[in-house]
Homo-oligomer: A and B are copies of this chain.
Amino acid sequence: MWTGVFPAVTTKFTEDDRLDHGEMERCFALQMEAGCDGIIVCGSLGEGPMLSHDEKIDVVKTAQKIAGNKPVLLTVNEAGTREAAAIARRAAKEGANGLMVVPSPIYHTNEEETVAALRAVAEAGDLPVMIYSNRLAYRVDVTVDQMEELAKDKRFVAIKESSDDIRRSTEIINRFGDRYDLFTGVDNLAFEALSVGAIGWVAGLVTAFPRETVAIYQLMKQGRREEALKIYRWFRPLLDLDVSTYLVQNIKLAEVLAISTNDRVRMPRQPLSGERRRTVEKIVRDALAARPELPTF
């Protein structure tokens, strides 16, 4: 159902901490122009947990304006299943094309609870669902056994594989073949995931470097692996910024330098400062200075 590069876009704020829809339109458009295949809003990178339900729906609408006929997915990441079901229902009503669902971001659900929570959200929204499995961030794993349980419901169509262990991708393929659309959710494991058979990439640095991200994906798809690997090696110091406690601030700072936007975040986050800021700036500037010529594909 889904395939390709799906940016997990950042949310843009005004100086007085409200949503900046104009700036989001501009930034989202850069993604689509570069050839991205969908948009995921209000994820970790989109500071979803710091947005109200009203705000989330507004971001969905802005993304839809830009995405054209490409799918727009809303991230559902609520502590309580009741609230998760409520926002899923509302997103469906407002025209979202799919949901990316985190099972449980605060409480650490056991296997039965994980499956039950995901099902409750899928049923409430009645939209195609990408299961977001990220045991590092949330300490709740969606294992292949649970995926098998969930496979009975056709609404679960895709997996965002963020276990941080590349081995999991082959386990999923060995177990399910193409039952699920397998997306990698870890920027600096993307080449490896595509090598073993993933068909999608929920990407982070793409918001600052959309053309390079799409190039790697398309070249891999065409079997032009050496060309893709060359770009990937150049890209790695940047992609590493996605695997960090500070991924939001890192990537927003990369956006400042690469697409001339701001790096405002909502508290408790604060923009990078001091040594940490200087380090990230250097990584981004060094990459910009050595930016590779992209092949046509």
Assembly CA distance A117 to B268 (angstroms): 6
Chain A, range 246-290, C-beta contacts under 8 Å to B: 266-270, 273
Which residues from 128 to 158 on chain A have a C-beta closer than 8 Å to any C-beta of chain B? none
Residues of A within 8 A of B (CB): 17, 49-50, 79-82, 103-110, 112-114, 116-117, 120, 166-167, 170-171, 173-174, 188-189, 191-192, 195-197, 225, 229, 232-233, 236, 240, 245, 266-270, 273
Question: With a CB–CB cut-off of 8 A, which chain B residues contact A240?
Answer: 167
Top 10 closest pairs, chain A to chain B, by CB: A81-B267, A49-B79, A50-B80, A117-B268, A195-B195, A104-B268, A192-B192, A109-B268, A49-B106, A81-B268
Contacts of A196 in B (CB 8 A): 191-192, 195, 229
B270 touches A113 (CB 8 A): yes
- Establish whether residues A106 and B107, one from each chain, have CB atoms under 8 Å apart when the complex forms: no
* Alpha-carbon gap, A117 to B81, bound state (A): 26
CB of B170 within 8 A of CB of A107, answer: no
When chains A and B are docked, how far (Å) is the Cα of A107 from the Cα of B48?
Answer: 11
Most buried by B among A79, A103, A225: A79
Q: Are A192 and B171 interface neighbours, CB within 8 A?
A: no
Asked if B188 and A268 sit within 8 Å, CB to CB, the answer is: no
Complex Cα distance, B195 from A82, in Å, reads: 43
Q: Nearest residue in B to A80 (C-beta to C-beta)?
A: B50
CB pair A174–B236 under 8 Å, yes or no, is yes
The reply to whether A229 and B197 contact each other, CB–CB distance below 8 Å, is yes
**A78 CB to nearest B CB, Å:** 9
Closest to A117 in B: B268
- Nearest chain B CB to A12's CB is how many angstroms away? 16
Residues in B neighbouring A109, C-beta threshold 8 A: 268-269
Residues of B contacting A170 in the complex (Cβ-Cβ under 8 angstroms):
232-233, 236
A82 to B17, CA, bound (A): 10
User: CA of A105 to CA of B106 in the docked complex: distance in angstroms?
Assistant: 7
* Nearest CB in chain B: distance from A201 CB, A: 16
Give Cα A225–Cα B226 distance, bound, in whole angstroms. Answer: 12
Q: Given A225-B225, A233-B174, decide whether A107 and B269 contact each other with a Cβ distance below 8 A.
A: yes
